[in-house]
Structure 1
Amino acid sequence: MNIKLKLIVLVYLFVATMLYGEARVVAAISSMKGNVQIRAASNRKYGTAYKGQMIKTGDWLKTDKNVFVAIVFLDGSNVKIQSNTEIEIKSSRVTAKELKTQMYIAEGQAWSKVSKQNKGEFKIKTPTAVASVKGTEFDVEFDDLAQSTSLVVLEGEVSFGDGINDILTGAMEGATVVKDEPPTKFKVAKEDLPQWQNDTDPAWELSLTPNRTGKQPVNQPMKVSVQVMNTKTKDSDNSYNNEVQVSVDSDLLFVSNNGSAWSNTANITIMDGKGTVHVKGGDEGKSSIIITAEDSESSKLQFEFYISKSQKRSMGGKLSELANKKGLSGIADVISGKSLQSTSVVAGSANIDDVLQKVDTGELEISDKVIETKSDGSVTIKLIIRPRKQDNN
């Protein structure tokens, strides 16, 4: 009998989920240097950004020391974000070619070169001020400690103020708004104009080469070679000796610096411009690693994983043994004589093998189960698994 069995595991590790509408793409990361962080409006946790990544309205970008990022909007406006900055991007389409854009600087500095606006709009807000333009080049910096927002206009004009007291600031002029005070305007000498935006290009980029290509079976480690390249010449640069940071875009992809200790992040040592990261997938589907390094562009490499027939037989056998061992007669009865079709973990960070192993050892426990039998005889088993309750006695 070869009726198919589907196993869905819900691993609850105190994960809260909220539903949000699908956000629209409004910009893209055009260049970057170092480990730039990004998060969606629906997510409190930042993740690693990469060059070419699409930015949706409501996304936040964050840079640390010596980290820079440049983004380009759909209307052609360009923004460069300084180190030690946290900024929110919001934008919506007004016409086919124009946007209504509003950025919020919670801390830090941003340079903007805004495409000429007709019906569109471009604003930068901080906790103390608002800068509104129709097409110009300017720089805004917010100092959280001083609660002060500073503006410098390189080209064009900017309406700037606290929303009550606004002034028009022109080219080679600057203005400052301190909390609860009206704006003050001043002249800016050419030598005092912002220059940081002209020095944000990375020195290196990272070339990633996996030792196997095509679809890969889950839980089978593979190696990815990392080669540091000179951004300008595109040649290998063997003078680079430092650590790079590896992260993943899925909780079911795992990385390691030695092939034995696996996690969703890893630090890899680069010697003479070369290094190796170990990768394995925990479930079927596509997922990617993102590698970042100081003064370098990030690199992204996508993988696609599948569960082989032999792995499915092994997992089916483990589930059957576990059901009998734990006295789960309902599961043992329905899976008898059936072959495993697919598995998935729909919440939490784990793979099926690890989950079954931890249930077997008692680290996790099955708190509930749902068995669905379809008219064709196929069965879907949903297991709700939680950390085992500790005995307080």
Structure 2
Amino acid sequence: MFVRRIMSLRILLTLSSILLTCVSLSAEEFAVATFTRGKVSFLSSTDSSKLWKTLKVNDILKVGDRIKTGNGSKVDFLFKETEIRIQPNTDFTLKEWSSENKVAKAYVEKGAAWFRVSNFKKGNFEVSTPTTTAGVRGTAFGVFYEEKEKKGYTCVCEGLVNINGSEFSKGTGGAVKLGTTELEKNDYKELITKDGATIKFKEKRKDNPMLSRCLPCHKPVGWEDNSFTPDETYGKK
């Protein structure tokens, strides 16, 4: 009888521990990986071994976690209606995340990431590069940092985004080169339409290689480019 009671107590304690863990995760409401392609690695902020590991679907993104994608690789994270899409050859770190206070901050050291933001206060969802800081005033935007150019870009897909203190609307964007404070203003309205990347986009890309980062989500219209794998999940969530 005594042994049975001990076993029952152990089972109860185990179930309680599992329940508390689930409640804790639910309370934090982390973003969850919903899609991966290719080689995606992450360095967990809570892993004392400091070893890079392979990121898988259903893994969660925690404050301090660092994500790296390889060539042709990507990962999507989802938190309620908020999406984070990390593109190939990107180094991304989640700096701050509080669903309770509706505040989030991320850092793109190199590469590209796209965001559709909901459930956060206006201006309290920020994404930085070595030269730019974009604060959401609307919903969807892309953030890029090109190492060769040493320039950070932000483009606005929907709503309004504040870039280094200036406000930009849908179809526009801003860029800053490392070592300067000058904010370069760009207009993408004739380059990218609801159908995709136009012939003007193709011509403009010669002078602005960063535009190639848009091709996974905006397919070429009237011309071809097979060097980029389409984003299978873009616009489907």
TM-score range (shorter-chain normalised) is 0.5 to 0.7
Q: For residues 110 and 184 of structure 1, what CA distance do their matches in structure 2 show? A: 20
1:144-293 equivalence runs, <5 A: 144-161=147-164, 166-179=165-178, 180-188=180-188, 189=190, 190=192, 191=197, 192=201, 194-197=214-217, 199-201=230-232
Q: Is the 8 A contact 2:139 2:158 kept in 1?
A: yes
Q: Which residue of structure 1 lines up, in the alignment, with residue 226 of structure 2? A: none
How far is 1:147 from its partner? 1.8
More strand by share: 1
More RCO (CA 8 Å, sep 6+): 1
Q: Which residue of structure 1 lines up, in the alignment, with residue 96 of structure 2? A: 91
Q: Which residue of structure 2 lines up, in the alignment, with residue 140 of structure 1? A: 143
Q: Is the 8 A contact 2:136 2:162 kept in 1?
A: yes
- Of residues 103, 114, 132, the one that matches 2:117 is 114
Gap change, CA 1:26 and 1:94, over 3 Å in 2: closer
Q: For 1:175-220, what per-residue CA distance to the aligned partner results, in whole angstroms no more than 9, with x for missing partners?
A: 1111223211121122348341362339xxxxxxxxxxxxxxxxxx
Q: Is the 8 A contact 1:34 1:68 kept in 2?
A: yes
One-letter amino acid of the structure 1 residue matched with residue 177 of structure 2: V
Q: Which residue of structure 2 lines up, in the alignment, with residue 105 of structure 1? A: 108
How far is 1:142 from its partner? 0.4
Gap change, CA 1:201 and 1:33, over 3 Å in 2: farther
Q: Which residue of structure 2 lines up, in the alignment, with residue 277 of structure 1? A: none
Q: Is the 8 A contact 1:117 1:134 kept in 2?
A: no
Q: Which residue of structure 1 lines up, in the alignment, with residue 31 of structure 2? A: 27
TM-score (norm 1): 0.41
Gap change, CA 1:94 and 1:48, over 3 Å in 2: closer
User: What is the root-mean-square deviation of aligned Cα atoms in Å?
Assistant: 2.4
Q: For residues 130 and 63 of structure 1, what CA distance do their matches in structure 2 show? A: 22
Q: Which residue of structure 1 lines up, in the alignment, with residue 8 of structure 2? A: none
1:52-63 equivalence runs, <5 A: 52-63=58-69
Gap change, CA 1:195 and 1:114, over 3 Å in 2: farther
- Of residues 87, 102, 115, the one that matches 1:82 is 87
TM-score (norm 2): 0.66
- 2:58 pairs with 1:38: no
Q: Which residue of structure 1 lines up, in the alignment, with residue 9 of structure 2? A: none
Q: Is the 8 A contact 2:67 2:91 kept in 1?
A: yes
User: Percent identity, aligned pairs only?
Assistant: 24
Structure 1: stretches of 5+ with no match in the other structure: 1-21, 203-393
From the CA coordinates, give the structure whose radius of gyration is larger: 1
Q: For 1:10-48, what per-residue CA distance to the aligned partner results, in whole angstroms no more than 9, with x for missing partners?
A: xxxxxxxxxxxx995621101111121111125532101
SS of corresponding position for 2:127: strand
Q: For residues 171 and 155 of structure 2, what CA distance do their matches in structure 1 show? A: 7
Q: Is the 8 A contact 1:80 1:197 kept in 2?
A: no
Q: Is the 8 A contact 1:176 1:185 kept in 2?
A: yes
